[in-house]
Amino acid sequence: MNKNSIYGLTIEQLTEWLGQHGYKPYRASQVWNYLYRERVTAFTEMTDIKADCIELLTENFTIQTLREHVKQEASDGTVKFLFKLNDGNLIETVLMRHKYGLSVCVTTQVGCNIGCSFCASGLLTKTRDLSSGEIVEQIMNVQHHLDAVGEGEKVSHIVVMGIGEPFDNFENMIDFLKIMIDQKGLAIGSRHITVSTSGIVNKMYEFADVNIPVNLALSLHAPNNELRTKIMKINRAFPVEKLMDAINYYIEKTNRRITIEYILLKDVNDHVEEAVELAALFQDKKKKTYISLIPYNPVDEHSQYQRSDQESVLAFYDTLKKNGINCKIRQEHGTDIDAACGQLRSKQIKKDKNQSIKS
């Protein structure tokens, strides 16, 4: 039997499951305390829990499904992990250091089917969705790494911006968020969590309705349909005007700000004209939007795209500012390791393949 990860259960789900097996609700709190506060790595370390309950948990769940395959550390403290899943697939997780805390970028799918033309993750089509447990375990593995370093550091922020489209794995992603913000677990502040989507419009509405108070980011990358369709084929299904309707709904429903992500691609979408067009698009939502300008991480297989030069980046930024738009140029992390989303994974897969051909 392929056992599920214990980390995939919300406290309500675990309480219900234990209840069905005759255990009182406080048992679930106890188990969670061991998982998220004591941070044990084996059921047998849950010493206050009765042997029959430990046996039941061991029979039905695993406590470790991810194995560390590669770990790269950059000079700025960024750590990139490649984890091997039970079925042998590789996923990527990144720990970043900021002035305000430690953030972790998590993966939600093995590969991605959206296939944006600039992205390394889209090079390998989706094999499968990650379970909620596999997403939670990425955070726990990073936290265990920090615990082992022994300086008492804690993951304080999460960005759902690794490999995959989180809104294409909606239910598991929502359970993951519930587990992360639960006061009985890691209790990560919901305002410290950001989920990024390429713009699956129907799910944007659903996300607004679910109303878990985490931040939403939308990968727009172009201010009009012609340009956006060229770089993101998903724009054919969900064009800019549909995205704007969904943004309006999200703002109205949640009263929260939404982040608009915009990768600057040299001579493609980085002209002042596009900045003017972008500013016009958000003119009536200045207070509720925030534009994050992202320096492009070049990907070998997408050599048609280069990073914008500094002059164009600043001109773009200034144009937005002059038009009263909230914006920032995103700080980069781990530039001396394979920093682009999905890049380490695709390189490692090639390397592993070559090795197996040789041996």
For ligand SAH, give the closer residue by CB, 219 or 289.
Answer: 219
Residue 53, phi then psi, degrees to nearest 5? -70, -40
Q: Measured between alpha carbons, how far is 165 from 107 in angstroms, rounded to an integer?
A: 9
Q: Measured between alpha carbons, how far is 221 from 263 in angstroms, rounded to an integer?
A: 5
Per-residue string for binding with ligand SAH, 89-128, x by CB under 6 A? -----------------------------xx---------
Within 161-190, the residues that bind ligand SF4 by CB under 6 A are 163-165
Within 215-244, the residues that bind ligand SF4 by CB under 6 A are 219
| 92 catalytic per annotation | yes
Beta bridge partners of 110: 128
| 220 is known to lie in a ligand binding site | yes
Q: Should residue 175 be labelled a site residue for ligand SAH when binding is judged by CB under 6 A?
A: no
* Edge-to-edge strand ranges of the sheet holding 193-197: 67-73, 79-84, 90-98, 101-105, 155-160, 193-197, 215-219, 258-264, 289-295, 327-329
Nearest one of 69, 66, 91 to 141, comparing CA atoms: 66
User: How many residues of this chain interact with ligand SF4, rule: CB under 6 A?
Assistant: 12
Q: Should residue 122 be labelled a site residue for ligand SF4 when binding is judged by CB under 6 A?
A: yes
Q: Should residue 186 be labelled a site residue for ligand SAH when binding is judged by CB under 6 A?
A: no
| 105 catalytic per annotation | no
Per-residue string for binding with ligand SAH, 36-75, x by CB under 6 A? ----------------------------------------
To the nearest whole angstrom, how small is the minimum distance from the Cβ of residue 197 to ligand SF4? Answer: 8
Identify the residue among 17, 33, 84, 115 touching ligand SF4 (CB under 6 A): 115
Q: Should residue 341 be labelled a site residue for ligand SAH when binding is judged by CB under 6 A?
A: yes
Beta bridge partners of 159: 105, 194
Q: Which stretches of the chain are assigned E, i.e. beta strand?
A: 4-5, 61-62, 67-73, 79-84, 90-98, 101-105, 109-110, 128-129, 155-160, 193-197, 215-219, 258-264, 289-295, 327-329
To the nearest whole angstrom, how small is the minimum distance from the Cβ of residue 31 to ligand SF4? Answer: 33
Beta bridge partners of 260: 218, 291
Q: Measured between alpha carbons, how far is 305 from 36 in angstroms, rounded to an integer?
A: 42
User: What is the dihedral sign for C-alpha 21, 26, 31, 36?
Assistant: positive
To the nearest whole angstrom, how small is the minimum distance from the Cβ of residue 340 to ligand SAH? Answer: 4
For ligand SAH, give the closer residue by CB, 24 or 236.
Answer: 236
Residue 51, phi then psi, degrees to nearest 5? -55, -40
- Output the known binding site for S-adenosyl-L-methionine: 164-165, 196, 219-221, 297
- Give contact residues for ligand SAH (rule: CB under 6 A): 118-119, 161, 165, 196-198, 219, 261, 263, 294, 296-297, 299, 340-341
- Give contact residues for ligand SF4 (rule: CB under 6 A): 112, 114-116, 119, 121-122, 163-165, 198, 219
Residues serving a catalytic function are 92, 341
